Amino acid sequence: MARVEFGVFMTVHLKKLSVGSQSLDNLRDWQALRLAHGGRLVHVTRNRPRRAEELLDGGSIYWIIKGVVTARQAIIDLAEAQRADGTPACGIVLSPEIIQVAPTKMRIFQGWRYLEEKDAPPDIGADNAGDMPTELAAELRDLGIL
């Protein structure tokens, strides 16, 4: 059962490795190619998130590229999907808009993990890290300088 505060679902996010992406531009290019071929952006995962109501209440998927949370995309819907081998899966339908976030180092893991609203990095614009290389901004943030 999803956490409820005062009768309202609390927003939760997902964090996920962007497997194969070398940079944020690389992720953007791959997704633009997918959209250009008439597809929609759906990340297929084996398990349906148990906290679906919270995800659909303004949640995003936060992309980790080379060990750094780099960007997020709003989660629009969760849909039934099928894996390449025909087994059932869950499709996480994403907004086409990729929003850069304050670079934050993250340990590598498999699959996806929940990310509480209070722990989510802010969108770029909340500080001056936007023009800085991602790895440098993450280091400075870890040191408490940004």
Q: In sequence order, which residues have a C-beta less than 8 Å from that of residue 14 and are 6 or more positions away?
A: 49, 55, 59, 60, 61, 62, 75, 92, 112, 113, 114, 115
Q: In sequence order, which residues have a C-beta less than 8 Å from that of residue 37 and are 6 or more positions away?
A: none
CB 102 within 8 A of CB 138: no
- Domain spans, the chain: 4-142
Q: Compute how many other C-beta atoms are within 10 angstroms of the C-beta atom of residue 4.
A: 11
Residue 37, token pair as written in the block: 């071929």
pLDDT at residue 145, as a whole number: 56
Assign 116 to helix, strand or coil.
strand
For the chain, give the mean pLDDT. Answer: 85
pTM of the model: 0.79
CB 15 within 8 A of CB 112: yes
Least confident of 6-15, 20-29, 67-76, 104-113: 6-15
